[in-house]
Structure 1
């Protein structure tokens, strides 16, 4: 039996296809659907799983060189949520930009993972190193 903490086969397969400078998106429950991008929907209920849960599971298996988030994340969320993201993302270079600019990056991604996340503007684009 496969003995690994990343059990979802579709997520595992997506991560195995990521190459240098490819991007993937982890989105909250309300992020728009993009028909041209492979979407893996793992949402179950509110915050099950959250964007942060997915980040915690995939980061040990995915080398991130840089990531982007909407600048609205900082103004719409409480300090505890922002601190939780800071702890998980640690030394990863992070850029904040307006949500409309953030969405312009979406079509270049090779995949989108939709979660049940409810933290406002918690969508994140991860670029492989």
Structure 2
């Protein structure tokens, strides 16, 4: 049994298979999952697990060089906007795009991790960096 990192076998496998610039989406429970993109559905009920909790868990085990958020999150979801600002302070490059553009970009993701989050625009596309 694993002692550290993700216990969820699908998330552990996806993170281990990511290469430089590959993308991974962490989504609220309402984001449409594009056909053909793997979905790891963690949702238990509305709000659980939460977006920020899931994002923090992934970031602890993932080298992120760039993150894309919906621009609407800046006004409509202050906790997500605050997390984006904190990520920028940690050296992650940020991009904000319209929610429609965000959904279109999800089609290129390796996978989507679906949470139970039920607040608006609680979604992010994480782009893999390198550890060397």
How do 1:78-117 residues align onto structure 2 when only pairs under 5 Å count?
78=78, 80-87=79-86, 90-91=89-90, 92-117=92-117
Change (3 A) 1:67 1:85: closer
Distance 1:5 1:71 in 2: 31
Unaligned runs of 5+ in 2: none
Residues 20-39 of structure 1, C-alpha deviations (whole Å, 9 max, x = no match): 11001000010012221000
- If the length of structure 2 is used for normalisation, what is the TM-score? 0.88
How do 1:3-22 residues align onto structure 2 when only pairs under 5 Å count?
3-22=3-22
Contact 1:56 1:88 in 2 (8 A): no
Offset of residue 75 of structure 1: 1.5
Change (3 A) 1:32 1:99: same
Residues 70-101 of structure 1, C-alpha deviations (whole Å, 9 max, x = no match): 000011124x4532453356421111111111
Distance 1:107 1:81 in 2: 22
RMSD: 1.6
Contact 1:26 1:124 in 2 (8 A): yes
Contact 2:51 2:115 in 1 (8 A): yes
Aligned to 1:104, what secondary structure does the other structure show?
helix
Q: Quick check: 1:71 aligned with 2:33? A: no
How do 1:22-61 residues align onto structure 2 when only pairs under 5 Å count?
22-61=22-61
Aligned to 1:48, what secondary structure does the other structure show?
coil
Distance 2:80 2:109 in 1: 25
Unaligned runs of 5+ in 1: none
Q: Count the aligned residue pairs.
A: 128
